[in-house]
Structure 1
Amino acid sequence: MTGIVNDAGNAATYAYDASGNISSVARGNAAVSILGFSPGSGAVGSNVTISGCGFSATPSQNTVQINGAAGTVISASSTQLVVQVPAAATNGPISVTSPSGSATSSASFAVTQSSAPLIGGFSPTIGTPGTAVSVSGSNFQTTVNENSLVFNTRTALLSAATATSLTTAVPTFSTSGRLAVTTPFGQTTSSQDFYVPPGAHVVSDVAVTGRMAIGSSQTVSLTTAGKIGLILFDGTAGQRVGLQTTSSSFGSCGTGSLQILGPGGSSLGSTALCNGNYLTAVTLPTTATYTILVAPIGTMTGSVTFTLYDVPADAAATIVPGGSAVTLTTTTPGQSEVLTFSGTSTQRVSLTLSEDSGLGSDCTYISIANPDGTFLVPSTLLCSRNYYSNVLTLPATGTYTIKLRPYGTNKGSGTFTLYNVARRRDGDDCPWWPRDHADHHGSRAGRVSDLQWICGPARKPHHESGQHSLVLLVDFEARRYGPLSLRGLWEQYIRRATDLASDWHIYHPPCALR
């Protein structure tokens, strides 16, 4: 007992000697008295309970200081206050001020020093969910629930805790990554990784482990059949990455896969182990450690080198129907080229594309999306450096999106021209050329091409106007060579067509070009 208060407000405070005997009794009739506090010492951020009388039951009406440093009153009654030790506190008496008065303790509170936790290591370093794990270190809390232990992104349930060790089990759905411990005094992350075999794999399946940074390359050699490799990397939410095999001894593309696994173990994308394959840009859903799973099938063994790319935002711009051509350039494998344009319902447009040698070194996919997300032009594989969409009638008013996505690691520039196609009018002496009137063709049997008239000002075209353009597409062995643009006489166009060195058909225009 440290003191007592009677109904009249008279207080007696007891002091004790080292043997526990009362050495003195202080009596008073103060409106506010401090009879004692517990514990007698504590670290910054810990709580102290103060007993006495004359306190306000409203926490904000009490001011508590530890050797002059004000602490936060967490809860209050007329006879008890709970206060958090402030960061500026030092050893000294506790004082309380309330609307009834003030008082200072006769004893001093001792502020103890506490440090953030440190992880020294853990055992084992690999295990499936449910595996028992012991974490060694320092400055852990001896109360179990005052420690938080996380495997990558999954919180583990602790079964025991001392100042130097924590005992737990690998959480369900946990994935490979570092361990993190948090206490009231700080947080720490392990320097080494804990590996979790994904899916149905067990510890004995894992032959290679490691870590790589985005933008670097890694080689994994698996010389025993049935083994896998786990390579980790850190990523942030919204970041885009791409994965390419740059060298492989696995041979055919059916020998296995490279997969990127996200937190929780789900696959974010995969590509084959064969040389040159590319996993297009994957957007990481959260800030965490991710796993690249190298998994041959069957009895396959070999070595593979792969590069993990940091894929920037797509090259993007706007384009205007009937306006100037727009050139976009990609600099990293996995980037796409994206154009948006405003269109109105029933408006007629056509698109041409010309790729440079870098972008056109491999196939690309081109698509045009409607304002509602459906496709005006579904994703189409383009394996030549030129493209022409034919005339498109827009179904609605809104913003349309043109997207050119590389098939592999090709990157470079694409030049887009979006035409605003005029409608045929009665009496127009230069209507659209019919697609069923072939009048000229090449010396060898060829496939019918698609030739259309891109209308300019409403007047007869002639070779000096520069206001009209002819577009020719030649379909030869399922590859398109075009478009070719020509301004001038039909005879010039005939000569240009023969320069294609492939079979061709040309439609005779129903109006004179003169």
Structure 2
Amino acid sequence: MPISLTKAGRTARYTFSGTSGQWVSLGLTSVTISSSTITLLKPDGTSLVSTTVGTSGGGFEPPSTLPATGTYTIVVDPAGVNTGNITLKLMSYLSGTLNLNGAATVSTISVIGQNARYTFTGTAGQWVSLGLTAVTITSSTVTLWKPDDTQLTATSVGSLDPPTALPTTGTYTVTVNPAANYTGNMTLTLSTEVTGTVTVNAAATPVTISRAGQNARYTFAGTASQQATVRITGNTLGNVLVNLYTPSGSWQTGTTSSAASFNLSMVTLATTGTYTITLNPQTTATGSLNLQVTSP
């Protein structure tokens, strides 16, 4: 929708019918107005979201789905005495599914202001991560939404790692929102963690990360007052974050290293129970390492 505002002080208002739960975005292109405020009003006339745009244009989207069914209004208000033109393009999000532990999904965003959303079925207690590779979008935000449409976590680079296991069973949504007027491609790889167990003072266990953005989680049985050291050898993953957690889930020790071999600080285990070691590559590289827990 091309808009021409040739008189100082004039604004423009355009309406559209929206549905509760709908994801929409607005492309702002061919902008010759030096500065203007774009506001999206809800059906009750209150502001849902607002932004300032210059001649570079860009994208504009609500922070979440539309909250109600009804008539929404887009207001274009040039700053001061500015005049000029702007083209508005209202779009639904591109949509698709993510294949948990399956084939990667390629997201192609070719229109300024276009966003994308992808869904997958998650289970309460499940640990997942999302690798972001082959990215040609200069800057974007990737967000994971819970089944109730509240945000779980977000990132702009590398991989998306929720801070906890999935809290509920249901349909999760991943949105891709390019910044400014950027377009391009991104490959999304959704994976569960590599899991297993190790035994204190047993031979090292090989751990292989074969999917972009994938993490690993291993457990071992520990005894109160036992001293333990987590050892990494043969690391081909590059920079990797290794953490040790107590049976209650509290962090005990950890480090980030790209060395081929390194150890966590030796700790004295406070309680008897199942301890957890997490291994999180800090890039989307794949590879392997050997994991061992020793007690002197």
After TM superposition, is the score higher than 0.5? yes
Counterpart Cα distance in 2 of 1:241 and 1:391 = 29
The structural deviation recorded for 1:303 is 1.1
The structural deviation recorded for 1:294 is 2.3
The structural deviation recorded for 1:200 is 7.4
TM-score normalised by length of structure 2: 0.60
Counterpart Cα distance in 1 of 2:147 and 2:140 = 22
Counterpart Cα distance in 2 of 1:402 and 1:295 = 33
Q: How does 1:103-118 map to 2 (within 5 A)?
A: none
Task: Give the match's secondary structure for 2:233.
Answer: strand
Q: Which has the higher contact order (CA 8 A, sep 6+)?
A: 2
Contact 2:247 2:274 in 1 (8 A): yes
Contact 1:248 1:302 in 2 (8 A): no
Contact 1:326 1:417 in 2 (8 A): yes
The structural deviation recorded for 1:352 is 2.0
TM-score normalised by length of structure 1: 0.37
Counterpart Cα distance in 2 of 1:236 and 1:394 = 33
1:464 corresponds to: none
2:27 corresponds to: none
Q: How does 1:323-342 map to 2 (within 5 A)?
A: 323-332=202-211, 333-342=213-222
Contact 2:132 2:284 in 1 (8 A): no
Equivalent position to 1:283, from 166, 176, 180: 166
The structural deviation recorded for 1:312 is 3.3
Counterpart Cα distance in 1 of 2:252 and 2:178 = 40
The structural deviation recorded for 1:259 is 1.5
The structural deviation recorded for 1:354 is 0.7
Contact 1:314 1:337 in 2 (8 A): yes
1:363 corresponds to: 239
Equivalent position to 1:232, from 105, 112, 118: 118
Q: Which amino acid aligns with 1:418?
A: V
Task: Give the match's secondary structure for 1:385.
Answer: coil
Counterpart Cα distance in 1 of 2:17 and 2:144 = 19
Give the helix-richer structure, 1 or 2.
1
Equivalent position to 1:219, from 107, 124, 128: 107
1:209 corresponds to: 94
Contact 2:198 2:293 in 1 (8 A): no
Mapped pair 1:407 → 2:286? no
1:386 corresponds to: 261
Mapped pair 1:247 → 2:134? yes
| Distance change in 2, residues 1:258/1:375 (3 Å) | closer
Contact 1:236 1:284 in 2 (8 A): no
Contact 2:144 2:153 in 1 (8 A): yes
Deviations 1:397-439 (A, max 9, x none): 3333222222232333322333322xxxxxxxxxxxxxxxxxx
Contact 1:206 1:230 in 2 (8 A): no
1:270 corresponds to: 154
1:376 corresponds to: 252
Q: Percent of counterpart pairs with the same letter?
A: 18
Deviations 1:6-29 (A, max 9, x none): xxxxxxxxxxxxxxxxxxxxxxxx
Deviations 1:440-468 (A, max 9, x none): xxxxxxxxxxxxxxxxxxxxxxxxxxxxx
**Larger radius of gyration between Structure 1 and Structure 2:** 1
Counterpart Cα distance in 2 of 1:211 and 1:130 = 16
Q: How does 1:92-103 map to 2 (within 5 A)?
A: none
The structural deviation recorded for 1:295 is 1.7
